[in-house]
Amino acid sequence: MKRQSLSPQTRFSRLNKMKLLLLALGMAGLWYLAAPAVLSSQERLLSERVRSAQLHLSQWRQLSGTATPVENDPWLCGLIGLEWSGITTTLGDLASKRTACNPAWAVQFSRWFRELDLKPGDPITIYSSGSFPGLLLNAVAAAETAQLEPLLIVSLGASTWGANHPDAPWPVLATELRRGGFIRKRADYYTLGGGAELGHGLPPEGLALLHKVAKDSGVELLMADDLEGMIALKAQLLEKHQARLFISIGGSQANLGDALEVLQLNPGMISADQIDHAGNGVIGFAMQNKIPVIHMLNIKSLGAMVGIPYDTAPRDMATAPVSKWWSFPGVLIIVIVVSIHRRWRLDEM
């Protein structure tokens, strides 16, 4: 029996159905990739640990009389400071400071650690400004959960809304967090922060307070003659620690250096092709020595990149961070299909 051939209309119809099926499968795949992944059990425990630490700190600050007004810290993070004080270095953005408290950052740090294939016992360094105590808590908690060995240096001065309460600077907050069992790590060194991380720009009473805080905490205060000396000192400690990762939190001047090109450096995990923008600070030193860098600055744009909402209550982040960039391939596929798919035809009259 002679096999009957398909009409052009039938072949056209089947071809269109196949195209639509492939489109549906492609869009389903993108939807799967873009859907917020459920936290693993370890990630959930990490997130809950950070949030519990915040609530503990908030309650302690209320009892100690150092609490920030609820209109400035509506989610009771306990890590929001004052609009101004004697240990304030520069202006800061309140919404960014609140965003930095989101426990989703701890999950993001843990995922960066896995991306770099860090193993328990691996040495890392965390050089943080007191301006972002929320990020600092998230980073330390994530490092401890991953059983990494961090070298921790914190600058004591802080920008507005950071750890700038005279009675609750970072060393005091950290002591309470350790007392509550939320973190174990104690800073290895402090710097004064401010200009050159030597306290330049701070009033005499502010400098006196920071010196006293460092002395009372029993942590060595790093001092140098100038910015170049402070950069060299922190770079030497980084090298001595044989760090497999350098985390820079905030805008500590020795971390960034004073070269203008560092302002073009993208936040987050820095790729090797950005070395031309690495500057002459510790970040530049790390990149020149092929040490991976996580640059925690420009929180709003960095949050948009990794999928952490801006100025949103921590309890709203029930799932893992996810990038919004997955939506663009989907839109591109739709545009391409619409432009080439013959869904409608005008028959000749």
| Per-residue model confidence as pLDDT tens digits over 260-307 | 999 999 999 998 889 999 999 999 999 999 999 999 999 999 999 999
Task: Give the C-alpha distances (Å, rounded to integers) separating 205 from 226, 253, 291.
Answer: 21, 22, 38
By C-alpha distance, which of 246, 247, 251, 273 is closest to 263? Answer: 251
Asked if residues 253 and 195 have their Cβ atoms less than 8 Å apart, the reply is yes
Strand ranges (E), 83-160: 123-129, 149-155
Confidence of residue 38 (pLDDT cuts 50, 70, 90): confident
Identify the residue with better confidence: 333 or 123: 123
Cβ count near 325 (within 10 Å): 12
Looking at residue 55, its pLDDT comes to 98
Query: Left if phi > 0, otherwise alpha if psi is -120 to 50, otherwise beta: which for 254?
Result: alpha
Tell me the one-letter amino acid at 122. Answer: D
Tell me the one-letter amino acid at 114. Answer: R
Distance CA 90, CA 136 (A): 18
Q: Which helix or strand (DSSP H or E) is residue 249 part of? A: strand 246-249
**Structure token pair of residue 185:** 């790590």
Asked if residues 153 and 186 have their Cβ atoms less than 8 Å apart, the reply is no
Distance CA 230, CA 282 (A): 9
β-strand pairing of 293-296 with 246-249: parallel
Q: How much of the chain, in percent, has pLDDT values that exceed 70? A: 79
- Token pair 């070298």 is found at 151
Q: What pTM value is reported for the model?
A: 0.83
Name the DSSP class of 180. T
Domain boundaries, the chain: 41-316
Q: What is the mean pLDDT of residues 226-240?
A: 98
pLDDT tens-digit profile of 124-164? 999 999 999 999 999 999 999 999 999 999 999 999 999 99
By C-alpha distance, which of 145, 149, 122, 99 is closest to 296? Answer: 99
Confidence of residue 340 (pLDDT cuts 50, 70, 90): low
